């Protein structure tokens, strides 16, 4: 499973400096092990992404230093990632056989982010996704049959076949949507987090664990949209129980993150608003899970939001209308 291996690590780090700033404290001590140690690198933006496999591999902690996970937990994570990958591969087959209509965006390669985060949630916690939403739905417990039926436009789908690929929704699972417009889900997630705080503080209706938490997933390209900044501000101002999870796969359709973003280190925007900003290897489910646990616990305790940048990579085209054949086998698109 690629998500659990470091073979894709060469895709991960943008060229820009990742030395960290004085306000860039991710979390108090324990999570430091979840953070990939990053060396100062000279910024190189317009060329392309630097391949940093050797650095990452050198910096990779020894197996013993990996976060503890029981056999049962590891199997649950593995099962969820395998489910996501196999489900998506089947989607591609069915799409090319003409069984699905419209746009279908696959998640291949990014599974560790969905699994690492969503598997730490409780049922009342909410997930807000994007158009790349099938695997988020599966991780949140929506049955694969209901997700696939939705993709086929069947009445047995989780939205009675009326939402389709980009609009997965399930009230019983607190999956508050896929959204086709980028950034559109972030205010919805912020509203869900506000509602959770209101239930807790005003209505005194929270779960025994504390506040219900909302995860807002979105891509690197979306971080240049206004809703992102507005919602970071409001979430921190009101100390909302929300985690902004950026799935930085380095591309917004065909636009490189490094060519479109003035400062490509997205996690730094958290401290700019007064919340922790964390950068994590999004190809490593155990590291993602450790960061997720800590951010979720903070939110549950009422300590407010966190911005987490997960560096990941999508192994297929932007959507199935962007056929993989456009990639030339053997060509390294990332190392310049």
Ligand X SMILES: Cc1ncc(C[n+]2csc(CCOP(=O)(O)OP(=O)(O)O)c2C)c(N)n1
For residue 310, the cross-strand partners are 247, 280
Q: Is 249 in the site for Mg ion (CB under 5 A)?
A: yes
Q: Is 312 in the site for Mg ion (CB under 5 A)?
A: no
- Contact range with Mg ion by CB under 5 A, out of 153-161, 215-223, 263-271, 299-307: 215-223
Q: Is 174 in the site for Mg ion (CB under 5 A)?
A: no
Q: Is 181 in the site for ligand X (CB under 6 A)?
A: yes
Q: Is 132 in the site for ligand X (CB under 6 A)?
A: yes
Q: What is the Cα–Cα distance from 186 to 24, expressed in whole angstroms?
A: 23
Count the helix, strand and coil residues of the chain and give each as a percent rounded to the nearest 5.
40, 10, 50
Least CB distance from residue 220 to Mg ion, whole Å?
A: 4
The listed partner (Mg ion, ligand X, none) that binds 153, CB under 5 to 8 Å by sort, is none
Least CB distance from residue 319 to ligand X, whole Å?
A: 8
Least CB distance from residue 10 to ligand X, whole Å?
A: 19
Least CB distance from residue 292 to ligand X, whole Å?
A: 19
Cβ-based nearer residue to ligand X, 53 or 224 = 224
Q: What is the Cα–Cα distance from 102 to 219, expressed in whole angstroms?
A: 21
Q: Is 316 in the site for ligand X (CB under 6 A)?
A: no
> What residue number has its CB nearest to ligand X?
219
User: Cα 62 to chain center, whole Å?
Assistant: 25
Neighbours of 289 (CB within 10 A): 22
Burial of residue 6 (CB within 10 Å: 0-12, 13-18, 19+) is: middle
Q: For residues 106-125, which are near ligand X according to CB under 6 A?
A: none
Burial of residue 22 (CB within 10 Å: 0-12, 13-18, 19+) is: exposed
Cβ-based nearer residue to Mg ion, 163 or 221 = 221
Q: For residues 234-273, which are near ligand X according to CB under 6 A?
A: 247, 249, 251-253
How far is it between the farthest Cα atoms of the chain? Answer: 58
Neighbours of 87 (CB within 10 A): 19
Report CA-CA distances (Å) from 108 to 42, 103, 141: 30, 16, 18
Q: Is 227 in the site for ligand X (CB under 6 A)?
A: no
Q: Is 311 in the site for ligand X (CB under 6 A)?
A: no
Contact 112, 177 (CB under 8 A): no
Q: What is the Cα–Cα distance from 147 to 169, expressed in whole angstroms?
A: 9
Cβ-based nearer residue to ligand X, 149 or 283 = 283
Q: What is the Cα–Cα distance from 215 to 193, expressed in whole angstroms?
A: 9
Q: What is the Cα–Cα distance from 159 to 276, expressed in whole angstroms?
A: 35
Cβ-based nearer residue to Mg ion, 220 or 284 = 220
Least CB distance from residue 282 to Mg ion, whole Å?
A: 11
Q: Is 333 in the site for ligand X (CB under 6 A)?
A: no
> Can you tell me which of 20, 84, 191, 219 binds ligand X, judged by CB under 6 A?
219
Q: What is the Cα–Cα distance from 98 to 325, expressed in whole angstroms?
A: 18
Residues near ligand X (CB under 6 A) are 132, 180-183, 218-222, 247, 249, 251-253, 318
Residues near Mg ion (CB under 5 A) are 219-221, 249, 251
């Amino acid at each position: 499973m690629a998500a659990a291996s470091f073979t894709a690590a060469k895709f991960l780090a943008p060229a820009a400096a990742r030395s960290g700033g004085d306000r860039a404290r991710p979390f108090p001590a324990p999570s430091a092990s979840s953070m990939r140690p990053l060396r100062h690198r000279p910024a190189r933006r317009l060329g392309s992404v630097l391949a940093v496999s050797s650095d990452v591999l050198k910096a990779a902690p020894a197996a013993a230093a990996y976060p503890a996970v029981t056999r049962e937990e590891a199997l649950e994570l593995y099962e969820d990632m395998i489910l996501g990958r196999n489900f998506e591969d089947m989607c591609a087959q069915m799409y090319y056989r003409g069984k699905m209509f419209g746009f279908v965006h696959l998640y291949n390669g990014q599974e560790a982010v969905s699994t690492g985060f969503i598997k730490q949630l409780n049922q009342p916690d909410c997930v807000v996704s994007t158009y790349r939403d099938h695997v988020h739905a599966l991780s949140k417990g929506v049955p694969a049959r209901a997700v696939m039926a939705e993709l086929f436009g069947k009445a047995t789908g989780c939205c009675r076949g009326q939402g389709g690929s980009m609009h997965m929704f399930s009230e019983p699972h607190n999956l508050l949507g896929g959204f086709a417009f980028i950034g559109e889900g972030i205010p919805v997630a912020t509203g869900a987090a506000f509602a959770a705080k209101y239930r807790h503080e005003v209505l005194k209706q929270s779960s025994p664990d504390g506040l219900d938490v909302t995860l807002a997933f979105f891509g690197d390209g979306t971080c240049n949209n206004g809703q992102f900044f507005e919602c970071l501000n409001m979430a921190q101002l009101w100390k909302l129980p929300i985690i902004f999870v950026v799935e930085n796969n380095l591309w917004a359709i065909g636009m490189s993150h490094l060519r479109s973003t003035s400062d490509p280190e997205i996690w730094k925007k958290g401290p700019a608003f007064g919340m922790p900003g964390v950068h994590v290897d999004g190809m490593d489910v155990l590291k993602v899970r450790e960061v997720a646990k800590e951010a979720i616990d903070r939110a549950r305790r009422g300590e407010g939001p966190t911005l987490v940048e997960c560096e990941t990579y999508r192994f297929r085209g932007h959507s199935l209308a962007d056929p993989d054949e456009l990639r030339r086998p053997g060509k390294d698109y990332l190392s310049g």
